[in-house]
Structure 1
Amino acid sequence: MGSLVVDKGRLGALQDWVWESGFGANETCPLINSTFQSFPHCHQGRIPVYSALVESSAQIQEAVRFARAHNLHLVVRNTGHDGAGRSSGPDSFQIHTHRLKGITENSMPEGIATVLSWLGESVLRSGLPGDSFWEEESPSERFPIPPAFIEKLSVRGARSDVEFWRLGATTQLEALRDLNREGIVGQFELKHLAERGSMEVSLEVYNLNTTDISSNRMNVLRVALERSGLHPTFLSRSVSKLTSALRHRGDIYPDDYGILMGSVIVSNTLFNSSRGPQRIADRLSQFPMAIGDTIFTSNLGGRVTDSQGLIDTSMHPAWRSSSQLFNFVRYLPYKSVEGKITAMDDLTQVQMPILYALDPSIRASYLNLPDPNQKDAPQVYWGKNYGQLLRIKRQWDPDDLFVVRSGVGSENWDVEGLCKQGMSVLARFQTFLDALAWHFR
């Protein structure tokens, strides 16, 4: 495909090759080749067979009725940004929603607009990754974007260097903890660089509603690291609108770009404790990473925590008492089915257990950055809310027309949602306990 932007309008195309390809033989057949006869059964992996490009709610309804009437394997795709292959599937019928452009702010009832305004402020105050993508400078005058003073501190070192972890990683995590206590958001990032054994740890901080460069909080940390013998890089800038500091173009990927992802929530109790950052840094120093791999944080807390007990949502309850989301991105640069399967096994059996060990008091993850082979999806993504969600699904979708990997009700199906399978006794018992807990809460 060559270098490309995540192609929102291209049928079947996803963010990377991992979920476009399948898991069996003949996944790399040549399209035009004199030896094509050697591949008589070449197929198209997980790319849908048919797609309906819908532009209205009426067309969506018609497509859903068609899928139900013909018992089709249904998938829904918008942009193709997908961490677990949920917007594609082998032998599937796709509803492609990216042409639904008619939803505007003016059509929202005032109550919904108020909620969105509240949610926007919540996102800004509780976490905003530094490379977020905005298609417009100012999405809405009703939801104003604040000015910001942005600081970024980076330190490089050898993976085996104890001082790199003790000073570089631990100190930056401590700084993030202290800044969060003051209501300042930031992002911690750990990268395995191209040079074997070389690591980089960085902290990017967003001082919202100010362009005052005199605060220079991170510069104080830079001086302290320099005095300790490290050689940090420090950058700062002021912007009149936070969105002007973020990307205004889509991701551009090479044709061999592939990733797997996983995530884990860390509680307020651990991260805000005196030794919490050091404990996390110690765990990360033992985390297996290859060249190109990244771990980054997303701030939680803020109004998400303040609304604990006030808002009833399907989210795992642990989100209401957590401080950080640690996200892992595994880079897979080579198109190999065998390599993909091996990487998935490593993620599930080796890397995710280490991430969950960051905070043993919580075992919860973010569904949009999932371990694709998560065996305990109901508990990891929804916790005690799963029983209620399953009852709702059985009421409105008794035939499981909408089934996705690790989604509600997916435990009754194989990983691709093609064949129904029996639910284990343990899973049934856990679902019963969840439903009982929700009923008597």
Structure 2
Amino acid sequence: MKGGVLGWLGGALLLAQDAVAQEATSVAGNELSSWVLRRRGSASYACKCYPGDRCWPNNTKWQKLNATVGGNLQVNIPPGAPCYNSFKGPLGEVKTYNKDECDKVTSNWYNEQFQIELPAAGLWTYFTNDTCRPTTNPSDTCTLGYYPVLVIMAKTAAHIQAGINFARENNLRLIIRNTGHDFLGRSVGWGALVINTHSFQDIKFTNQYRGACNYSGSAVTVGAGVQAFQVLKQANALKPPKIMVTGECATVGVAGGLVQGGGHGPLTNFYGFLADTALQFKVITADGVLRTANAKTNSDLFWALRGGGPAAFGVIVEATYKTFDDKPSSGVHLDIDTSHTTNATLFWEAVRIFHGYSTHFVDNGLYVYYEIGTAGQNLHVHPFVGIGKTPAELQAVLQPMFDDFAKIGITYTSSSANYSTFYDLYNAMFETEVAGNSALTGGWTIGRKDVEDNHSAIINAFQTVLGAGSFMVGHMWSAGHGLPQNEWGNSAVNPRFRNVVDKLITIVPLAGNAPLADKAAAQDKLTNVVDAALRNAAPNGCAYINEADPYEPNWQQAFWGTNYPALLKIRQKYDPNGVFYAVSTPGTEKWEQIETGTRLCRKL
């Protein structure tokens, strides 16, 4: 099932042309491509080209692209296809059943790294339409759903440039994928061409960075495909051991969507977002040009890439970040669940006590990762992290909370550990995440002032979230705690993040192939019940683009605040015609996915 674009079509034409599709040139200011005109109600749209449209590239063009990218263009087949007799895709039908391959994908379906290594899988399946999941009935139907159609497994910057140019010249929907580690469906999309950057695996360290900034300390340059666990392992092997800002999850890529969204993690208390530590990017913009972006060269683009929106300004080929000396660290686990109490009032009082110390935790340099409601009445803190702290120092920070637990008579389970480096703690105390599940994801942040002035309302909002059948994942940190204030404006992340003490992810479980009415109801619940409760209780908060409701109301302000107007101008400068697209990012106000979430179109 692998190979060139015609590897399993036997040299046939990619598809018959759709006589119904209408074409127009020079629509919406794009003189290079053809657009497909559509209407929905009274609105008119100019849409990207898709299989079945007359403007879809012919076989000769695809073959030429395949040659240009070194034979690394391939048809995308959903991961679960080996469990089905055939895959019925938009380019034709192919026999796919293979018992050994089916067993392999079935046993690894929930393994993040397995999914990451696939050409175009989405780690969470809601936005794929949950099509073609592994099955024990080979006669079931396997279709493409909202997976992309074709993939360039890029090996060089020139391959990425060729893919961008081809998508721009033929007006195709383009998706950039490294790991597929995304909650908002940005790594998948109906009818799209994917450029997969996961093969870019170079990691280079330097003890003394020399570049276009005032920084001269240690740094690391990573390729677009490098994941957190890879660079952290190599950094730990240095003498002395080094560390860099990464996400909490070890499988996330560190040079793409993470930094373009901001990039928070256990070191955020000390050094801010990953975006705050960026020194330089090599990036390919919508015109296909490879550019250097740093504080002196393309400085506007450099600023925008540092938190201004994923898949909005270009494809990062490599990124250079500051590194820091690693430190001995301590951690504590905490659990309160139905084995400790079945009294809901007592449980929520314990949650109130725990969360009431959020400002205390971050002011003392702690990072706290927790979940509420993943198994009903459950507070699961895994872990409290004290970077550079001894067990006694960490315990001293936590003791007031434990004392308050004792006062209300709540029991709990707790354990602590000490490590020679944060890296060792990171590997030992953080839990492995899984792929393959389907849900709608939202989120909001809680400002310091919200905790100080409105904490009872925050806990009431938590109860609303759980009462709606959702659950939450929390991350306590302060992106303004350890970063000098004169550096806060150097990245494009929302200024409100500097006063945040807790960032929440909300999850509403739902199958991606649920009836459309159920999807609409779930989206309404996420936006107008679950996240609305948090927004109302924490008016000083904001939303984090990488972990939020993709249809967040007033998203421009929620995601970027006062930085949005500048980001919009930069987007219009580097990508005026919308070659790149990710939902609710700068410059996408007129873009919609119409026809049940398939066609990406610009409203005229």
Question: Which category describes the TM-score, using the shorter chain as reference length?
Answer: 0.7 to 0.9
* Comparing 347-356 and 4-13, the one that deviates more: 4-13
**1:187 alignment partner in structure 2:** 369
Kindly indicate which of the two structures has a greater share of residues assigned to strand: 2
Taking the aligned partners of 1:73 and 1:238, their CA distance within structure 2 comes to 49
**2:527 alignment partner in structure 1:** 348
**2:122 alignment partner in structure 1:** 14
**1:231 alignment partner in structure 2:** 411
**1:144 alignment partner in structure 2:** 325
- Does the CA-based 8 Å contact 2:358-2:476 persist in structure 1? no
Of 59, 62, 79, which residue of structure 1 is paired with 2:162?
62
Report which structure shows greater RCO (CA 8 Å, sep ≥6): 1
Of 216, 219, 227, which residue of structure 1 is paired with 2:395?
216
- Does the CA-based 8 Å contact 1:305-1:321 persist in structure 2? no
* Deviation of 1:187 (Å): 3.1
Taking the aligned partners of 1:8 and 1:299, their CA distance within structure 2 comes to 28
Q: Which whole-Å deviations, capped at 9, do the CAs of 1:153-186 have from their partners, x for residues lacking one?
A: 22225787222212x1111112332232223332
Structure 1 pair 265/127, CA: closer, same or farther in 2 (3 Å)? same
- Does the CA-based 8 Å contact 1:219-1:234 persist in structure 2? no
- Does the CA-based 8 Å contact 1:172-1:202 persist in structure 2? no
Taking the aligned partners of 1:310 and 1:169, their CA distance within structure 2 comes to 32
Q: Which whole-Å deviations, capped at 9, do the CAs of 1:85-143 have from their partners, x for residues lacking one?
A: 11111000001011111252349645577496997499545359xxxxxxxxxxx9963
**1:102 alignment partner in structure 2:** 202
Report the residue type matching 1:144 in the other structure.
Answer: D
- Does the CA-based 8 Å contact 1:153-1:222 persist in structure 2? no
Taking the aligned partners of 2:422 and 2:322, their CA distance within structure 1 comes to 14
Q: How does 1:355-434 map to 2 (within 5 A)?
A: 355-362=534-541, 364-415=542-593, 418-422=600-604
The 3-state SS of whatever aligns with 2:504 is strand
Equivalent pairs, count:
395
* Comparing 334-343 and 47-56, the one that deviates more: 334-343
- Does the CA-based 8 Å contact 2:328-2:420 persist in structure 1? yes
Structure 1 pair 309/321, CA: closer, same or farther in 2 (3 Å)? farther
The gaps in structure 1 that reach 5 residues or longer are: 129-139, 423-441
* Comparing 331-340 and 280-289, the one that deviates more: 331-340
* Comparing 346-355 and 370-379, the one that deviates more: 370-379
Report the residue type matching 2:144 in the other structure.
Answer: Q
Larger Rg: 2
Q: How does 1:127-142 map to 2 (within 5 A)?
A: 127=269
Q: Which whole-Å deviations, capped at 9, do the CAs of 1:376-433 have from their partners, x for residues lacking one?
A: 22121112222211111112212111121111111111136721114xxxxxxxxxxx
Taking the aligned partners of 2:409 and 2:508, their CA distance within structure 1 comes to 31
**1:83 alignment partner in structure 2:** 183
Structure 1 pair 277/204, CA: closer, same or farther in 2 (3 Å)? farther
* Deviation of 1:191 (Å): 2.1
Taking the aligned partners of 1:318 and 1:305, their CA distance within structure 2 comes to 14
- Does the CA-based 8 Å contact 2:473-2:504 persist in structure 1? yes
* Deviation of 1:369 (Å): 0.5
**1:433 alignment partner in structure 2:** none
Taking the aligned partners of 1:294 and 1:159, their CA distance within structure 2 comes to 20
Structure 1 pair 239/291, CA: closer, same or farther in 2 (3 Å)? farther
Report the residue type matching 1:126 in the other structure.
Answer: T
1:126 aligns with 2:268: yes
- Does the CA-based 8 Å contact 1:263-1:369 persist in structure 2? yes
Give % identity: 20
- Does the CA-based 8 Å contact 2:209-2:217 persist in structure 1? no
Of 140, 153, 161, which residue of structure 1 is paired with 2:344?
161
Q: How does 1:291-370 map to 2 (within 5 A)?
A: 293-303=471-481, 306-307=484-485, 311-332=489-510, 336-338=514-516, 339-362=518-541, 364-370=542-548
Structure 1 pair 309/343, CA: closer, same or farther in 2 (3 Å)? same
The 3-state SS of whatever aligns with 1:388 is helix
Q: Which whole-Å deviations, capped at 9, do the CAs of 1:322-362 have from their partners, x for residues lacking one?
A: 22212223334685354444322211121111111121244
The 3-state SS of whatever aligns with 2:476 is strand
Taking the aligned partners of 1:298 and 1:308, their CA distance within structure 2 comes to 23
* Comparing 304-313 and 88-97, the one that deviates more: 304-313
* Deviation of 1:279 (Å): 3.6
**1:52 alignment partner in structure 2:** 152
* Comparing 214-223 and 313-322, the one that deviates more: 214-223
Q: Which whole-Å deviations, capped at 9, do the CAs of 1:63-92 have from their partners, x for residues lacking one?
A: 111111211111111101011111111000
- Does the CA-based 8 Å contact 2:175-2:193 persist in structure 1? yes
The 3-state SS of whatever aligns with 1:411 is coil
* Deviation of 1:246 (Å): 2.5
Structure 1 pair 401/162, CA: closer, same or farther in 2 (3 Å)? same
Structure 1 pair 311/350, CA: closer, same or farther in 2 (3 Å)? same
Taking the aligned partners of 1:410 and 1:310, their CA distance within structure 2 comes to 26
Taking the aligned partners of 2:536 and 2:592, their CA distance within structure 1 comes to 28
